Structure 1
């Protein structure tokens, strides 16, 4: 009788624990169902007004770029300073696969499928951190090749890191000096909906 009583006690205890776990999980799921997930990085609510993509466009491709920014110390508009000469980068998609390259100026992105797009700056937004490139909105002009970048309307550069530490001296005696800085940024490509 004692063994039957212990067996019944163990089964009822196990059933009570299972019921509590199921009930607790259901209550937790019900509570969480009303909570919206945080907005994705590229949603316009998270961007500065000046670099928001106009309504009627949807994300076509999200990438992260790692590359170099090359400057030269030279006269520009009556004063001497660091002038952007060239940028180049490799772009990977959200899975980490390299999908495109970037070079500029002029700003051109080329996808591995052969499609490309040229970007014309529309606006810039303040960057977080003095040594990071500005956030940027560019109007897209697609090239002739068919593919992912074929109908891109806008390109956003966000989440920048590096690329603009111009604290190295650039005076008349430094004219002609070169400066190469690493940078990282997310480039988000948009198409008409």
Structure 2
């Protein structure tokens, strides 16, 4: 009788373990089905040559920015003193490819500050036209990192690509409009590079 009881107990225990293992495997597979594949490695092959980062650099961080660009109607020294809309301050939040906020963009000068406290200032070196009159140009900036250690400490270049909005400057800006303000929403990808 004892042997029959032990045999029955062993079979029940084995069946319970098998059932638990099967249920756990099914749950694991179901969980994995919702996991997104890793993002494709960034390539700049389709970008205009003038905004491509030179060889010897690798991508350090890929982000998408959403924010506002604040303009003022005034004389623009960069355009010979002609009156026009001049960018006076950008403000945007940057998310990494997982959707986590990792940095903020402000200026002038154009400054990206990571949540770890590190930062980099960008100096524009080239632009490339973006299709659509109201989209910002694509841009390549040379990076000058701040002193604080972190992600931005070794950034050599910053690319602005995939722009949407930010440049609908059709509102009147003449001598009589001097001092008027204009705020425009925009989105762009900022790709940060460092020396390989």
Which category describes the TM-score, using the shorter chain as reference length?
0.7 to 0.9
Could you list the per-position Cα deviations for residues 2-22 of structure 1 after superposition, in whole angstroms to 9, with x for gaps in the alignment?
xxxxxxxxxxxxxxxxxxxxx
Over residues 92-122 of structure 1, what are the superposed CA-to-partner deviations in whole Å (9 max), with x where a residue is unaligned?
A: 0000000000012201100001111111111
SS of the aligned residue for 2:59 comes to strand
> Aligned residue for 1:51?
51
Tell me what 1:113 maps to. Answer: 116
Which structure 1 residue ranges, 5 or more long, are not aligned? Answer: 1-38
Query: Which of the numbers 95, 98, 112 marks the counterpart of 1:95?
Result: 98
Q: Identify which of 170, 173, 193 aligns with 2:173.
A: 170
Task: Tell me what 1:185 maps to.
Answer: 188
Partner residue in 1 for 2:161: 158
Runs of 4+ that moved beyond 3 A: 39-42
Where does structure 2 lack aligned partners over 5 or more consecutive residues? 1-38
Shift of 1:87: 0.6
Output the CA distance in 2 between the equivalents of 1:78 and 1:154.
30
Q: 2:20 matched to which residue of 1?
A: none
Two-structure CA RMSD over aligned residues (Å) = 1.4
Q: Distance in 2 between matches of 1:54 and 1:143?
A: 22
Deviation at 1:75, TM superposition (A): 1.9
- What SS does the aligned partner of 2:45 have? helix
Within the alignment, does 1:127 sit opposite 2:130 as a pair?
yes
